[in-house]
Amino acid sequence: MKYPTVLGVNIDHIATIRQARGTSYPDLLQAVQEVEKTEAEAITIHLREDRRHIQDMDVPAIKNTTSRRLNLELAATPEMVDIACKVKPSDCCIVPEKREELTTEGGLDVVGQFARIQEATRKLGAAGIRVSLFIEPDLEHIARAREIGAPVVELHTGAYAEQTSKQTEQREFKRIIEAAEYADSLGIHVNAGHGLHYDNTRPVAEIGVIRELNIGHAIVARALFVGLRKAVEEMLEQIR
């Protein structure tokens, strides 16, 4: 085990419930306070272009409330980069975004969108924000992320998490290990996330070079039955 793996709790889906009715509850700041009763290291939110869950005003409100790192996920658009440079979260994770998708499907196109992603990475970095690129666990993509100059990558674990056969799950898991070890050998800080839940997270945390897992949907779903604090603590147990 090279590094301890820490948890970033993605609270987007608490905002999804709020936006479904346009109410003021559930209160995201109360959610942040619950997460802060645990040893989770970061709060993660995704300001999507369609504003389907997190709203603009949530970003500074959470930044001013939390004592943990704030990891803002965003598309590499001038609008999003401007917002991030004003609010200055500690971390930004650049993600691909299509309006019609259910959730973030696939990693960034670091080959086709190289210049655009590099420009966003440069601007965010100049504002003192640590930038991560959400990419597929693929060696070529890692090499590109390094050329872009990103200090962090977040490996997309969706293909691993969504497999229904043990054989394909193992194949995807191997890709994550190889990608994580390669990125680590280049001096890139490696995070991972997407689709992780209480039954598939432990092996990813055991890889040893993945520093942070960003997990949302499974934790918020579990919180319905045990409360948010307990749901986060149960995920921390898996990670440890």
In the complex, which residues of this chain contact ligand PXP (CB under 6 A)? Answer: 10, 12, 46, 73, 93, 95, 103-104, 134, 154, 193-196, 214-218
Shortest Å distance, C-beta 185 to ligand PXP: 22
Question: Does the annotation mark 73 as catalytic?
Answer: yes
Active site residue 141: no
The residue annotated as part of the active site, out of 46, 53, 156, 189, is: 46
Q: What SS3 string covers the chain?
A: CCCCCEEEEECHHHHHHHHHHCCCCCCHHHHHHHHCCCCCCEEEEECCCCCCCCCCCHHHHHHHHCCCEEEEEECCCHHHHHHHHHHCCCEEEECCCCCCCCCCCCCCCCCCCHHHHHHHHHHHHHCCCEEEEEECCCHHHHHHHHHHCCCEEEEECHHHHCCCCHHHHHHHHHHHHHHHHHHHHCCCEEEEECCCCCCCHHHHHCCCCEEEEEECHHHHHHHHHHCHHHHHHHHHHHHC
**Which one, 1 or 102, has the nearer CB to ligand PXP?**
102
- Shortest distance, position 103 Cβ to ligand PXP, whole Å: 5
- Which is nearer to ligand PXP, 10 or 66 (by Cβ)? 10
Residue 13 annotated in active site? no
Residue 157 C-beta: closest distance to ligand PXP, Å: 8
Residues annotated as part of the active site: 46, 73, 194
